Every structure is written in structure tokens, then in C-alpha cells.
Amino acid sequence: MQNYNELAQSVKISDDKKHVLLDADPSLSLIGKGRSAYVFRIHSTNKALKVFFPDHTHTAKVEAEIYKTVQSIEYYPTLYDAGVNYLVIDHIEGYTLFECLTLGIPITEENIAEIDHALQLARKEGLNPSDIHLRNIFITSEKKVKIIDVARFKQVKSCNQWHDLKSAFHLFYSKSFFPKKIPSFILNSIAAIYKKRFLPI
């Protein structure tokens, strides 16, 4: 297998606003695309390669520094390598909170408390956990919490996303009558409305 840098450089992404994936080494399986990067599973390993778009390489450096800061905290992936445009971290076996909701997998009070604890530990390291949403929190196959996409943990402004998600959990989801399986289009619609600040919680 090629080294991590060679694998990262095998990933070709169009240098425009569409960020089209043009090519990648056969040993990489695409598992996700975010606002700033593509994420691949490296075959025959438990590692994920995150390759940033050409106009987001600055984010690679920031996120690597933050992962190094939280390496002693079990709720965040291990950082194995980092380069100009990539990171190598744990591949997490499990489901995001978004997937839990769409599949009807219960999210528990214990999960919420564990997420709260994970974020508090990051704050103790001088970080400001921000941009916490349903797609960057995992419940692993061992029923443990893992938080990814930490690039915005150094921003200065206050972020209420996790507070609002937690409030929604207690006000709605935790109630016995509330459905535990929600179609993705409804979740995406709620997120779009929330971003426009039409949903004060």
C-alpha cells in the first residue's frame, strides 16, 4: 500500500466551486463529502483519509492542530498523519445522530450526557466547540460517543447549535409520544429553517 501522502495525492478534485471528485487510488473507498473535503476508508485498515478541496487546504492545518490538542480525550478520533491537504484518523464504525434518527436507532439520555462531557473536556483544553450537528457526532458499534469535524473548535464567536440540539432532545425527542424514526427530508428541512434562525429553541 502507498504511504498516506501518496494516497492523498492520488485524489484529484476539480479546482472550482463544484469540487468534483475526478480520481482516487483503488485502495480508497469514498464514504463521505462535506463542505471542505472528501473522506475515504483506506482498504484493509481501520483508518479514514480526509482530503480537503483545493481552496480549503488551510482547514487541514487547523483541524490537525485541534485533533492534536484533543488526542488524550477518548471521544475524539486518533490522528495518525497530516499533510498540506489531508488528515488520517480513525474510521469510526457506527452511526451518526442523523443516521440514528433516520433509521430509528434510539438516542439515550446517556448519549447526550456523554456528548456534553466530551465537549466540556475540549473546553478544558482551551477550545470552543462549535458547529456541532447531527452528522458529526457518532454512536459507535460499542455504544460510545465519537465527535469528528473539529475544524471550528477554535472559532471565537459563541455557537448555540449543541445547546439547541440538546434542548430539542429534552423538549421533543425524549417524550414517549414523539416518533423515534424521522425521514431525512424532514430533518434536512428543519436544519434549513434553523439556519435561517426561524426556530428559536
Interacting residues of 63 by C-beta distance below 8 A, sequence separation 6+:
50, 87, 149, 150, 151
Q: From the candidates 81, 116, 131, 164, which is the catalytic residue?
A: 131
Beta bridge partners of 81: 88
Residue 131 annotated as catalytic: yes
Cα distance between residue 104 and residue 142, in whole Å: 17
Separation of first and last alpha carbons in the chain: 49
Cell for 174? Answer: 425524549
Helix (H) or strand (E) holding 100: helix 97-103
Catalytic residues: 131
